Amino acid sequence: MDSPFGLLAELTYRCPLACSYCSNPLNMGDYQDELATDEWLRVLAEASDLGVLQCHLSGGEPLLRRDLVEIVAGAHGLGLYTNLVTSALGLSRPRAERLRAAGLDHVQISIQAHEAALSDRIAGIPSFQRKIEAMGLVKELGWPLTMNVVLHRHNIDRVADVLELAEKVGADRVELANTQYYGWAWRNRDALLPTRAQLKAAEVVVRATRERLRERMDVVYVIPDYYSRYPKPCMGGWASRQLTVTPNGDVLPCPAAQSLPLPRASVREDPLERIWAESPVMTAFRGTDWMPEPCRSCPRRELDYGGCRCQAFLLTGDAARTDPVCHLSPDHDLVARAVEAANADSRPDDLPLIPRPHRARRPTHLPGG
Ligand code: SF4
Ligand code: FES
């Protein structure tokens, strides 16, 4: 068993945006009992003792936590590299300056498209302009900036414009992440899946821009696994190098694993070290012993770890099956049919997107807001 390298600290699932591709859990009401500041500081110390080096402060919208500066200072004091994953709504100049002074190392800002009308429509609220201003502030204060854009059928045709915007705001890194179909995005899968032709065109643009900006900007393109022959090596293997702590203190190997029928583990009940080493949620799919055929005898089993457990569960109802994305999976037809439908001439152009309901309300037991 390795030590975890990265901690995803999901500080809150509250969020001012309502993106239809959101992969956070559907049952957000179950996460209102958020960890208090001292609990997060204890989690960070336990994570550091366990070997964690990088801490991604995420959500929902982490800026909705009034104690964010204190949490960043705690992580920084432990020597952790801190990355704020944010929509940037709520990143005022005074707040940004306090985060800078607390030692925040890196900022990742999501944007939904290259221009206001489309971006605001996808985000569910007017937000584009504030995001652009926040990116300017991040650069002015000297942080490295990652611009993150989730790609799908409704914005992938504008990937050239997205890259141009990233260049214009001075992003050091742009992450073009094709939608992963968990949480709310799963509900919208058929409306979000791009066509094969859209993907082909986007890849040409990405390749050319990556080459052109080689010295100036890192262009990361996360391919849509529904179109791959093999699945992604999700999380670098189950409970191998990453762990997630949810707003209420549940510990998971990945952010989507709350949907799996596995016993809960919580930092409110057990030390992180014991959870990492022994809890059933961590050990269930660690390594390769759990694998069924065809993974068990496949030469790629140490490369992709049989793919994504959460995707296998969503598609087949059994988390221990081969990820149906793999063309060798006996369930591959489930993915092939979705891809076929996305590319069919008969597909209606205007499949409706179900917007995620807003969740920015503050739990009543926490001070401030
Ligand atoms: Fe990966 Fe399993 Fe497919 Fe082999 S059969 S490529 S291990 S998912
Ligand atoms: Fe949970 Fe892939 S998202 S294992």
CB 254 near ligand 2, within 6 Å: yes
Q: What angle do CA 220, 222, 227 make, to 5 degrees?
A: 145
Between the CA of 258 and the centroid of ligand 2 the distance, in Å, is: 10
Q: Which residues pair with 150 in a beta bridge?
A: 177
Q: What residue's CA is closest to ligand 2, atom 1?
A: 310
Estimate the share of the chain in helix, then strand, then coil, as percent rounded to the nearest 5. 40, 15, 45
Buried b (16+ CB within 10 A) or exposed e, 22-56: bbbbeebeebbebbebeebbbbbbbbbebebebbb
Predicted-complex ipTM score: 0.93
pLDDT under 50: residue ranges of the chain: 362-369
Residue 136: cis peptide before it, omega within 30 degrees of 0: no
DSSP state of 363: P
Q: What angle do CA 66, 69, 72 make, to 5 degrees?
A: 130
Q: Rounded CA gap, 192 and 341, in Å?
A: 12
Residue 200 CA: distances (Å) to CA of 194, 213, 227, 249: 10, 20, 11, 41
Q: Rounded CA gap, 109 and 161, in Å?
A: 17
Between the CA of 293 and the centroid of ligand 1 the distance, in Å, is: 9
State pLDDT tens for residues 12-32: 999 888 887 877 777 777 878
Q: Which residues pair with 151 in a beta bridge?
A: 178
Please name which of 109, 107, 101, 2 lies closest in space to residue 53, comparing C-alpha atoms: 2
- Could you list the beta-strand ranges (E) of 135-201: 145-151, 173-178
Q: Give the torsion sign (CA, 163, 187, 183, 315).
A: negative
State pLDDT tens for residues 55-74: 999 988 999 999 999 999 99
Q: Please give the pLDDT value at position 35.
A: 97
Which-ligand-closest: CA of 308?
Answer: 2
CB 231 near ligand 1, within 6 Å: yes
State pLDDT tens for residues 230-247: 999 999 999 999 999 999
CB 264 near ligand 1, within 6 Å: no
CB 304 near ligand 1, within 6 Å: yes
Burial group, residue 114, by CB count within 10 angstroms (0-12, 13-18, 19+): buried
DSSP state of 359: B
DSSP state of 15: B
Q: What residue's CA is closest to ligand 1, atom 2?
A: 295
Q: Please give the pLDDT value at position 358.
A: 64
pTM for the full model?
0.91
Q: Please give the pLDDT value at position 327.
A: 97
With a CB cutoff of 8 Å and minimum separation 6, the contacts of 350 are: none
CB 239 near ligand 2, within 6 Å: no
With a CB cutoff of 8 Å and minimum separation 6, the contacts of 220 are: 173, 174, 175, 176, 177
Closest ligand 2 atom to residue 310 Cα is 1
Structure tokens that stand for 178 in this block: 């094709």
CB 88 within 8 A of CB 59: no
CB 257 near ligand 2, within 6 Å: yes
CB 69 near ligand 2, within 6 Å: no
Residue 312 CA: distances (Å) to CA of 172, 191, 336: 34, 21, 14
Q: Please give the pLDDT value at position 183.
A: 83
Please name which of 126, 131, 55 lies closest in space to residue 90, comparing C-alpha atoms: 131
Q: Please give the pLDDT value at position 359.
A: 59
Between the CA of 331 and the centroid of ligand 1 the distance, in Å, is: 12
CB 309 near ligand 2, within 6 Å: yes
CB 308 near ligand 2, within 6 Å: yes
CB 245 near ligand 2, within 6 Å: no
Q: Please give the pLDDT value at position 363.
A: 43
Between the CA of 324 and the centroid of ligand 1 the distance, in Å, is: 10
Between the CA of 237 and the centroid of ligand 2 the distance, in Å, is: 9
CB 294 within 8 A of CB 72: no
